[in-house]
Amino acid sequence: MAGQGLLPSLRSMTIDREGPVPPYRQIAAQLRERIVDGSIPVGRRIPSLVEMEQQYGVARDTLRKAVQVLKEEGLVQTVNGMGIYVIEAPAESDEQRGE
């Protein structure tokens, strides 16, 4: 997985601090969307916690929670010393296909 390069700019990634959805869920949703639409392809590293911390201005624990959500969904895995990588494209559920 090394040498896959970094994700393009995080500029478009923001959170609503006043909204009802916790910041970690907003961040997880934004990353999930980028994984699903192919902006972050399988094998690519997602932004590091340091990069996301600078972008969002949230505590690292908040970011860890967001990444944990994606891990539980089977979308990413941590590679020690290298980062967090997309491991598979999510399968569409019946609801998403309109069935």
Structure tokens at 37: 């639409």
In whole angstroms, what is the distance from residue 69 CA to residue 92 CA? 17
99 falls within a domain: no
Q: Which residues of 1-99 form beta strands (DSSP E)?
A: 76-79, 83-86
24 falls within a domain: no
Please compute the mean of the pLDDT values over residues 85-95 and round it to a whole number: 65
pLDDT in tens, 57-89: 999 999 999 999 999 999 999 999 999 999 965
Residue 10: predicted pLDDT:
57
Number of domains in the chain: 1
The overall average pLDDT reported for the chain is 84
Please compute the mean of the pLDDT values over residues 26-32 and round it to a whole number: 96
Q: Which own/partner contact pairs does 13-19 have at CB distance under 8 Å and 24+ positions apart?
A: 13/52, 13/55, 13/56, 14/56, 15/56, 15/58
Residue 62: which CATH number?
1.10.10.10
35 falls within a domain: no
Residues spanned by the domain of 66: 1-7+43-90
82 falls within a domain: yes
